[in-house]
Structure 1
């Protein structure tokens, strides 16, 4: 069981580290996404620098990475805490992918996938919150931060296990940390809305 657990956590990291955004930018535009816009390899930076369809594909792949990492542990009957570890491994892989010198994305889509795998009603509720904010303000980072802050509250309201609640807090902190430059731009009123280009920072 220990070997199975370690293997599944390693698989979670490898899944998370699949550089979907980086590859999309390389294949379609011949650019290194890490040198463009925010420097993130996530779907938002793909949207701004490559296009809508590639961004959607990257988003779906990144969601799938987080969900699959968790669902594999569930298929093997591992407990809530071990499911959480596999999900966190996927987040770590997405944020710090070994293939890209440990410089990846901000883990919003992968985190969404992880929570769909852990507790899909909470995941969908969090996505609804994200979509509500983005439809009003058209700022992806603001929607991401609001959804991250709402996640632990939604998990608590749903009466989920302590493991799921703990990882929701960790995930929220990770998203906030990865969006710290975005938060500074939000405060300064310089964060771009959907459809606007973002200059490198």
Structure 2
């Protein structure tokens, strides 16, 4: 029990690493929390026009969802513990201790967790996001549809076990975090991918 608690703390702390802020500082860009949507994530970094910085943020945010689960597996944690560590990393991104618990929406980190849980499921969710983003250029809509697909695939592939329950929880939280985006999508005021932040 003590070791599981340590794994969860590790997962949360790794998930709390604010790659959007770190990468923006390294590239001399504005703090992502001070422009655009105010969200410390890859999409908001992309609004600066720096695609490399956005890509590095995306990779970092995804890696921090997968890495704690990988480390837990190497430390011989149980399958259930590894699954919960992924959830802890996701929550760390949403409520990071290093940013006064004001984090991002968790799309890339959720993908990293999915990779750690089920590679094929992660591929299906990522493909859904990519196709939707290319067609509509709405990152938020792509994330919402990918979350729905991930939940459906999780229950089809894993039934009602811990993996599908954690994936379901992550996807529902992700949808909730996009509630403002849903309103803007309905109103037709949502920003599209590629729109730069005005100086």
> What TM-score results when the alignment is normalised by the length of structure 1?
0.92
What does 1:10-159 correspond to in 2, within 5 Å?
Answer: 10-49=9-48, 51-159=50-158
CA distance in 2 between partners of 1:50 and 1:32 (Å): 14
**In 2, Cα distance between equivalents of 1:30 and 1:138:** 23
In the alignment, structure 1 segments of 5+ residues that lack a partner are none
Q: Is the 2:43–2:193 Cα contact (8 Å) retained in structure 1?
A: no
TM norm structure 2: 0.93
Aligned to 2:196, the other structure's residue is in SS state: coil
Change (3 A) 1:72 1:3: same
CA distance in 2 between counterparts of 1:197 and 1:183 reads: 20
Between the aligned partners of 2:119 and 2:173, the Cα distance in structure 1 is 20
State the partner residue of 2:178: 179
What is the CA distance between 1:161 and its match in structure 2?
A: 5.9
- Residue of structure 1 in register with 2:188 after alignment: 189
- TM superposition shift of 1:30: 4.8
User: Cα distance 1:29–1:50, how it changes in 2: closer, same or farther (>3 A)?
Assistant: farther
For the aligned residues, what is the CA RMSD?
A: 1.6
Secondary structure at the aligned position of 1:135 is classed as helix
Instruction: Report the more deviating stretch, 108-117 or 95-104.
Output: 95-104
Cα offset for 1:15? Answer: 0.7
Alpha-carbon distance between aligned partners in 2 of 1:74 and 1:46, rounded to the nearest angstrom: 32
Name which of structure 1's ranges 52-61 and 23-32 shifts more when overlaid on structure 2. 23-32
The answer as to whether partners of 2:129 and 2:143 remain within 8 angstroms in 1 is yes
User: Distance between the aligned counterparts of 1:46 and 1:166, measured in 2?
Assistant: 31
State the aligned residue count.
198
Q: Which sits farther off after the overlay, 172-181 or 78-87?
A: 78-87
